Structure 1
Amino acid sequence: MSETTQNKSSLLLVGVNHTTAPLAVRERLAIEASRLGEATRALAHQPGVREALILSTCNRVELITVHESEAETARTLSFLREYLNLRDTDLQPHLYEYRENEAVRHLFRVASSLDSMVVGEPQILGQVKQSWSVAREVGAVSNMLDPLLQRAFSVAKRVRTETQIGASQVSVASVAAELARKIFGSLAGKTVLLVGAGKMSDLAARHLIQQGATTLLVSNRTEARAERMAAELRTPNITTGVIPFVELHERAHRADIIITSTGAGQIFQREHAKALLQRRKNSPMFFIDIAVPRDVAPEVNEIEGCFVYDVDDLQQAAQQNQATRTKEAEAAETIVRNEVERYNQRLAQNEQAGAIRELLAQAELVRETELAKALAKMPQPISDLQREAIEQMTRQLTNKLLHSQITALREGSQTRD
């Protein structure tokens, strides 16, 4: 890609998150980790799209693209509709759209956990890095997005280092564990079942132990992973066990609280919940569903004795922690603001340097061509001293003619003109 072509590129970020779209919309947009590479590659191959990255988490789905020109950015929205088979009326009311400088700022804020449901939670940075890694694997990021993402990681690290925004390590998993404790007042003597053995389940398990849980069960489609998690959590004071996934519905009644994080679809539906309650002899059962798409059908909450909390319910609980983080968030916003300005200055300097190099190269080509024509018309032979004098004269003339243009380019970089 030439400097000139890159300079004409247009940066676009579109998406939805927990503040713009309800869970019912977000779960329709969610792209499973197993499909992320395929989706990213498909987006990057859209006409006019030069680079692409997709971030899909339980609280947001965002597409970042670099286009040949601003007129081509409609391709991103078109892809989102077609790939997920959505209508404009389903999507448009919830979308936000950022371009150029605002897209850079939004990405820096997301990576720094300033745009998270739980401000300061540490998981989002890993999720952004994973999306970047997938995009690199499929060849969807290069000259523009690759350095932009790396800069976002540096900004996030600076926010973590220079502020206390993540000091208490609050996350969706920790909010879920806190909610579980509040439900019963104490988790001592209660049995918690973790459905899913990924990072979120592991985090939830460790927070549950901190909240007093002593009996944990794990169930996962890949039983070896469930066995491994159970073994890692087991201590002399912590009892753990594994429920084979194929026996989940028959044995889940052993748990007082079920925390799900598979995102594989509604593995607990109304009929499953009713059967579980019967086995529990109508003793209440609590579901904390931190997956998107949801693992627990919303209708389960309509059954007397079943209580379902999803990620939107956790958002309300998380807002109670927000006030204590306001001061640190303000300091973090200042860092992001300064880093966006630094990034733009560096980008402008790179752009003007490329433009100056191209201008000088074109001028040198013209100079050499015209010089060759002039020398061919002159009486031969020409001495080396004469040739050098003519060469020096044409170089000086070219430099003087270009001086005003180069000065204007350098001055224009200060304002991105």
Structure 2
Amino acid sequence: MSVDVFTFGLNHTSAPLSVRERVAVPGELLRPALDALRSTWGAAVREAAILSTCNRTEIYCAAEPQVVDQLPAWMAQFHKLESTSLQPHVYRYQQNDAVRHAFRVASGLDSMVLGEPQILGQMKDAVRAANEAGALGTLLHQLFQRTFSVAKEVRSQTAIGANSVSMAAAAVRLAERVFGDLDQANVLFIGAGEMIELCATHFAAAHPRGMMVANRTVERADLLASRFSATTMKLSQLPERLADFDVVVSCTASSLPILGLGMVERASRLRRHRPMVMVDLAVPRDIETEVGRLDDVYLYTVDDLGRMVQTGTDARRAAVVQAEAIIETRVQNFMHWMQKREIVPAIMEMHEASEKVQQAELERARRMLARGVAPEQVLEQLAYGLTQKFMHGPLSALNRSEAGEREQLLELMPQLLPRTERRR
């Protein structure tokens, strides 16, 4: 059965954060998820990769067509959700639409922040994980290599990423709305990944009074803190130290909330109800949603920041048209490569068949020469035998064909027959 390229998933435009966090696939679950996906359908899913970020969870696969309609049910089952719970939020793309979607995602055209660069690195991480799990083959490998090339071309030839307001910069702006200058603010970062590093970079530029990093792995916390003259603490110290901080930015891979309502309530009382800004960039969320109901706590999620940074993107809209044109051209190039790839088995079969005919006729000619037949006569018989066998297939097809099929064959025949060129 034929194998097509599919993309299936949900993102910030199709699903709210409350749904996205339930189907997020953290790094340690990528391989089990890929193994489960492929073992469910066996050879029907030839290749697969899973991209899971705070704004999207997507499956890219080379699979037989009947598989794609069952993917929502599989994803729900893998995450122990109701089988129909994801249906209103998912999208499916096939063949050139799937290729176009991959190109747009990597180029930042499908991001909450138009042109944001982080998604390209996240996609490369997803491809690396799929390759290490043995889930990549020729088709997806070629797709992603071209995806990365297109993203580079879009970013270098258009202004799609110019003056983009990142989530990290938005977090600083939100804190400044509450506190004004941050020179008297103490900032706590929970986690030590790429997003926290970006946030630390932006907050450091605002020169807060102090910065601290809390992370499950102390070594990573120390490494990040050393870059910004910050201090570190253990996650276990959060309950007694939380009240010391005016701004808390959290982005971990925890499957459960790290900061609960009770912990934040106690911290607020200890602060004598001085305001606290909490920015939760994690999916699933690190901070319980009920925290947002506290009078003195300003809680912002990744979607809140996304809505903020979407303002002011009009200057980059003109670049979208140019980027889409580049992408469309590259989509057509990739589909042409796929079509050529599909006929390779037929070409190989034709070569093998012609090789057998050639060997048979050569063996016949050798036997004639061994019997003393004149070389000229042997050559004539060799040419005649090869010609007859070459013509047998097309002539038989014409003789067996009905009227409509015969017209098609007659139109194709001039293209299939060899052309002889007169020597000068």
TM range (shorter): 0.7 to 0.9
Alignment pair present for 1:10 and 2:4: yes
Distance in 2 of aligned mates of 1:407 and 1:298:
68
Deviation at 1:408, TM superposition (A): 7.0
- Aligned residue number for residue 198 of structure 1: 193
Alignment pair present for 1:50 and 2:46: yes
Deviation at 1:170, TM superposition (A): 3.2
- Aligned residue number for residue 62 of structure 1: 58
Alignment pair present for 1:87 and 2:76: no
Contact residue 356 and residue 406 of structure 1 kept, 8 A: no
Deviation at 1:79, TM superposition (A): 2.5
Compared with structure 1, are the counterparts of its residues 59 and 367 closer, same or farther at alpha carbon in structure 2 (3 Å cutoff)? Answer: same
Find 1:305's aligned residue among 287, 291, 296: 296
Compared with structure 1, are the counterparts of its residues 377 and 175 closer, same or farther at alpha carbon in structure 2 (3 Å cutoff)? Answer: same
Letter in 1 for 2:226: A
Compared with structure 1, are the counterparts of its residues 392 and 177 closer, same or farther at alpha carbon in structure 2 (3 Å cutoff)? Answer: farther
Structure 1 residues 214-293: aligned runs within 5 Å:
214-234=209-229, 240-264=230-254, 265-293=256-284
Compared with structure 1, are the counterparts of its residues 406 and 204 closer, same or farther at alpha carbon in structure 2 (3 Å cutoff)? Answer: farther
Distance in 1 of aligned mates of 2:372 and 2:300:
90
Compared with structure 1, are the counterparts of its residues 356 and 281 closer, same or farther at alpha carbon in structure 2 (3 Å cutoff)? Answer: same
Most deviating of 129-138 and 323-332? 323-332
Distance in 2 of aligned mates of 1:281 and 1:353:
73
Q: Displaced runs of 4+ in structure 1, greater than 6 A? A: 372-380
- Aligned residue number for residue 337 of structure 1: 328
Compared with structure 1, are the counterparts of its residues 158 and 42 closer, same or farther at alpha carbon in structure 2 (3 Å cutoff)? Answer: same
- Deviation digits for residues 94-145 of structure 1, max 9, x if unmatched? 0000001100000000111110110111110001001101111111011110
Letter in 2 for 1:310: T
Unmatched segments (≥5 aa) in structure 1: 235-239, 410-417
- Aligned residue number for residue 208 of structure 1: 203
Compared with structure 1, are the counterparts of its residues 350 and 389 closer, same or farther at alpha carbon in structure 2 (3 Å cutoff)? Answer: farther
Compared with structure 1, are the counterparts of its residues 400 and 162 closer, same or farther at alpha carbon in structure 2 (3 Å cutoff)? Answer: farther
Find 1:327's aligned residue among 298, 318, 327: 318
Contact residue 122 and residue 169 of structure 1 kept, 8 A: no
Distance in 1 of aligned mates of 2:312 and 2:292:
26
- Aligned residue number for residue 317 of structure 1: 308
Letter in 2 for 1:327: A
- Deviation digits for residues 233-253 of structure 1, max 9, x if unmatched? 12xxxxx22122110121021
Letter in 1 for 2:203: L
Distance in 1 of aligned mates of 2:168 and 2:372:
82
- Aligned residue number for residue 415 of structure 1: none
Deviation at 1:321, TM superposition (A): 2.9
Alignment pair present for 1:129 and 2:124: yes
Distance in 2 of aligned mates of 1:40 and 1:46:
10
Compared with structure 1, are the counterparts of its residues 184 and 395 closer, same or farther at alpha carbon in structure 2 (3 Å cutoff)? Answer: farther
**Matched length:** 396
Letter in 1 for 2:23: L
Most deviating of 323-332 and 76-85? 76-85
Contact residue 72 and residue 87 of structure 2 kept, 8 A: no
Compared with structure 1, are the counterparts of its residues 207 and 388 closer, same or farther at alpha carbon in structure 2 (3 Å cutoff)? Answer: farther
Deviation at 1:368, TM superposition (A): 4.8
Contact residue 357 and residue 386 of structure 2 kept, 8 A: no
Distance in 1 of aligned mates of 2:173 and 2:329:
35
Contact residue 263 and residue 294 of structure 1 kept, 8 A: no
- Deviation digits for residues 349-407 of structure 1, max 9, x if unmatched? 333455333333234435656x5897799897265835544343344445556784794
Unmatched segments (≥5 aa) in structure 2: 395-411, 418-424
Q: Which one has the largest radius of gyration?
A: 2
Find 1:347's aligned residue among 338, 351, 369: 338
Distance in 2 of aligned mates of 1:43 and 1:194:
35
- Aligned residue number for residue 176 of structure 1: 171
Contact residue 106 and residue 123 of structure 2 kept, 8 A: yes
Deviation at 1:66, TM superposition (A): 1.1
Distance in 1 of aligned mates of 2:413 and 2:133:
40
TM-score (norm 2): 0.86
Deviation at 1:313, TM superposition (A): 0.7
TM-score (norm 1): 0.87
Letter in 2 for 1:27: E
Compared with structure 1, are the counterparts of its residues 405 and 280 closer, same or farther at alpha carbon in structure 2 (3 Å cutoff)? Answer: farther
- Aligned residue number for residue 139 of structure 2: 144
Compared with structure 1, are the counterparts of its residues 42 and 280 closer, same or farther at alpha carbon in structure 2 (3 Å cutoff)? Answer: same
Most deviating of 252-261 and 396-405? 396-405
Alignment pair present for 1:38 and 2:32: yes
Compared with structure 1, are the counterparts of its residues 277 and 357 closer, same or farther at alpha carbon in structure 2 (3 Å cutoff)? Answer: same
Contact residue 40 and residue 53 of structure 1 kept, 8 A: yes
